Structure 1
Amino acid sequence: MVYEELAGEEDEVELPRGDVTERVVRVGSTVRRPVHPPSAAVADYLKHLEEVGFGGAPRFLGRDRAGRDVLDFLAGEVAGDPPQAWAADDELLASVGRLLRQLHDASEGYAADRGFAAPPGSRWFRWPSPSSSESSAVVAEPAPELVAHNDVTPQNVVVRDGQAVALIDFDMAGPTARVEDVVNTATHWVPLRAPVDTWPGWSRTRQPVRLRLFADAYGLTAAQRASLVDVALARADRMWLSMRGAAEHYGGGWAQMWHDGVGDLIRRRRAWLVDRSDDLRGALE
């Protein structure tokens, strides 16, 4: 699918780089991104979301003359890295929970109809295992229920008038379970992390209250609430190994994050989850 350039779409404006994705630019009303192995699967997923009426994701418009993916540019405010204090607003957190639920509901049809299959010659993002013997300790992922974003960080949410309205950067989209994606999103937005790693202007004590707010906004069932803390603990174990594996096998930004101490951050998060587990479970009851 070739994108037909429009008049005036010549000037490129570099957009903030992510941890692992570079050379993303805005051209007029579009965003241009380098093609990578999951691109075809992501494009197929974005087309599905458009077809079912989910308005919280960019449309895939094709490939430009330079071979880059072309997507809609979604206007709004996006948090920086580290995210500013305004991103810690409770109403914004609730709106993220509602947007995530809308995405998951829109994605179930894709999962049921397509069986998580990526188009021929493409694949979803996958976490590699580390080369060491520690890889044998990887905790099994929950059985997939749908395809989802899998990286709903403050830097990947478009905000307008204090409300989350859209998600961007679907590079890590793929099969997952609802609670798994809920936990991943809450990790960044509640946030579920040790006080020493919590960003300036973000609460270091109200996490149980904010987790309840997020769970209520998403509409978690009683069973999902009961499993959430255990899922978070298992995910912390798995993510330490996954991030180490990505650093070893993918290099680049993944290796830089590992060098900068993301493995230690994950271990501090797990210790904090154990320490606050009763408070977190109680808030979800």
Structure 2
Amino acid sequence: MSSRHRPSIESRVYIPAPGEASDVELMPAGDVTDGVVRAGGTIRRPHQPQSLAVAAYLDWLEDAEFDASPRFLGRDAAGRDVLTFVPGQCAGSVPELWVQSEELLVSVARMLRRLHTASSGYIPREHPFPPKAVRPDSPDSAGRTLVCHLDVTPQNVVVRGGVAVGLVDFDLAGPSTAFKDSFNTAMHWTPLHDPADLWPGWESTDPFRRLRLFADAYGWDDGERRRLPAVGIEAMALSRERMRHNAAALGGGWARMWNDGVGELIGRRAAWLEANADALVAALTA
């Protein structure tokens, strides 16, 4: 839909098709958002403080012809955000073995690069993202920031025919940098974990080979490849600080994750990145 013919975000109201409300399916709960349902060809999500910012970003992506994100349709009679449903398969909370596909990994990296290209130039002036209570991401060396997804996990990527075709759950979207978003994505998909925290069935995967495949498909330059361990270690320190703050301040899913030991997991991941820094750079630059 062209922005010239699109109602403002605040005034956009979704009117369901006849019989649509009877076709309701509860969607898997996310880490921090519960109560998401599918109704016909739509997804209904609880309205949140960042909802208007996310809706404006999705409008931008639509106008940029990025075809892998949902479209914001408005709010329904219950006040929920209504988005288009992106059909396909997403990984479970413990990713299935099909998620190990190298073809899928490469397609995720390419889709993320397309997202970042589509996001270029977007400045959320009218509907800014809520400021982070714990310090925001710093810009890159050229002083640039980019609105990014920031949560491209296997659970948030829609797959059809063995390749990534969609990206959902923009709850954590906000200003960051393309490299930080792509590092975060690679961390989940490679995955860059302490061996003690690998998902069952993932013990024999080669994170160094998978990281190189991701980097080549996304297009990291030599400087980014050499900076990855340091950027990753810094990101883990900030992630742990934010998780601890959100658990105490917001409760809910944040507190659940913190009580389940996510702080310790992040610490182990940082230690693994530090211990394997040279091997990671070698794998990326050889």
**What is the TM-score of this pair, normalised by structure 2?**
0.91
> In the alignment, which residue of structure 1 is the partner of 2:164?
164
CA distance in 2, matches of 1:253, 1:213: 33
Cα pair 1:139 1:237 within 8 Å, conserved = no
- The answer on 1:141 being equivalent to 2:149 is no
Q: Deviations over 1:13-69 (max 9, x none)?
A: 110000110100000000000000000000000000001100010011111111111
- The answer on 1:124 being equivalent to 2:132 is no
Structure 1 spans left out of the alignment, 5+ residues: 130-137
CA distance in 2, matches of 1:181, 1:36: 22
Partner of 2:28: helix, strand, or coil? Answer: coil
Q: Deviations over 1:137-185 (max 9, x none)?
A: x796344521010100111000001101110000111101111001111
Residue type matched to 1:7 in 2?
P
**Greater CA drift, 98-107 or 225-234:** 225-234
Cα pair 1:4 1:64 within 8 Å, conserved = yes
- The answer on 1:27 being equivalent to 2:32 is no
> Superposed, which structure 2 residues align to 1:14-53 within 5 Å?
14-53=26-65
Over the aligned positions, Cα root-mean-square deviation in angstroms equals 1.5
Residue type matched to 1:5 in 2?
P
Aligned partner (choices 14, 17, 29) of residue 6 of structure 1: 17
State how many pairs are aligned: 270
Deviation at 1:109, TM superposition (A): 2.4
> In the alignment, which residue of structure 2 is the partner of 1:135?
none
> In the alignment, which residue of structure 2 is the partner of 1:96?
108
CA distance in 1, matches of 2:139, 2:262: 23
> In the alignment, which residue of structure 2 is the partner of 1:237?
237
Cα pair 1:198 1:204 within 8 Å, conserved = no
CA distance in 2, matches of 1:68, 1:262: 29
Residue type matched to 2:268 in 1?
R
Residue type matched to 2:133 in 1?
P
> In the alignment, which residue of structure 2 is the partner of 1:276?
276
Q: Deviations over 1:172-224 (max 9, x none)?
A: 11101111001111111000110110111224551111110000010112222
> In the alignment, which residue of structure 1 is the partner of 2:227?
227
Cα pair 1:40 1:118 within 8 Å, conserved = no
Structure 2 spans left out of the alignment, 5+ residues: 1-11
